[in-house]
Amino acid sequence: MTQKKKRYDPRNRWSAKYRKDVKLWIPSRKIVYLYWFRFLQLAEQDPNRTVDWSQYQGWGGTNAVLGMKFDDWWEEHWIDLFSIENEGDEPKFPLTTKRLKTDGIRYALRIYENRHRGSTWDIAVWFKRNEKRMYFLQFFGKIQEDMDTKTRLRRDGQGNAMDDSSEAYLNTLDKRDVQRKVSRYLKSAEQYLDNVCIGKFP
């Protein structure tokens, strides 16, 4: 059964953009800033990357970002860093685009966090078992853990090699397509990590 995309709910703490108690806005949904925070944590923990903390004045530094839960950190910093008085204003730390593909960022993060699962196919199989929001990823339907991808070659009357299993051949094409898409998400995650190192997101 296909899952339906949930509607925007202004009462939801992750999707609401306006806080009545302080009469301030944020330019994008709170969940986007969670993704920024999480990619910044990953970049700081990566021995092959260096975060330029001079680009993050007011964030609390590495101890705060690595040592605090996001909700606690958010309550301390969101007004100073991201709040605006009117929709359309620019905060101290703006996003690099207003055309955010929020779910794409989320999938890139989730797939990157699970890169230790093994190959791109192993990651895809694990993701299908554990991901609840599959309605945006059309290639999920192609993921079958026990799919037959072993082609069987036979010779025709003229000695030419022919594939004797069209199903296995089609499964191989589907598997390669899934692997390519997982690779793209991993590549996107690497770009987000590079960007947060210099104070930009996404």
Residue 125 lies in a domain: yes
Residue 4 lies in a domain: no
Query: Does residue 155 carry a pLDDT above 60?
Result: no
Query: Does residue 5 carry a pLDDT above 50?
Result: no
Residue 172 lies in a domain: yes
Query: Does residue 147 carry a pLDDT above 90?
Result: no
Query: Does residue 11 carry a pLDDT above 60?
Result: no
The tokens of 181 are what?
Answer: 């898409």
Q: Could you tell me the pLDDT band of residue 15, with boundaries at 50, 70 and 90?
A: low
pLDDT at residue 12, as a whole number: 59
Rounded to an integer, what distance in angstroms lies between the CA atom of residue 73 and that of residue 25? 18
- Matching residue, tokens 């996404």: 202
Query: Does residue 3 carry a pLDDT above 70?
Result: no
pLDDT at residue 16, as a whole number: 73
CA-to-CA dists, residue 111 to 42, 61, 62, 186, angstroms? 13, 26, 24, 7
Residue 166 lies in a domain: yes
Between residues 148 and 51, which one has the greater pLDDT? 51
Residue 69 lies in a domain: yes
Range of the structural domain that residue 76 is part of: 18-197
Residue 117 lies in a domain: yes
Between residues 184 and 170, which one has the greater pLDDT? 184
Rounded to an integer, what distance in angstroms lies between the CA atom of residue 37 and that of residue 201? 10
The mean pLDDT of the chain is 85
Mean pLDDT over residues 11-19, rounded? Answer: 68
pLDDT at residue 151, as a whole number: 55
pLDDT at residue 158, as a whole number: 62
Rounded to an integer, what distance in angstroms lies between the CA atom of residue 158 and that of residue 104? 50
The rounded Cα 145 to chain-centroid distance in angstroms is 23
Q: What is the dihedral of CA 79, 85, 88, 91, to 10 degrees?
A: -30
For 85-112, the pLDDT digits (tens) are 998 899 999 999 989 999 899 999 999 9
Q: How many domains does the chain have?
A: 1
Closest CA to 176 of 152, 142, 202: 142
Residue 40 lies in a domain: yes
Residue 135 lies in a domain: yes
Report which residue type is found at 13: R
Rounded to an integer, what distance in angstroms lies between the CA atom of residue 26 and that of residue 33? 10
pLDDT at residue 169, as a whole number: 75
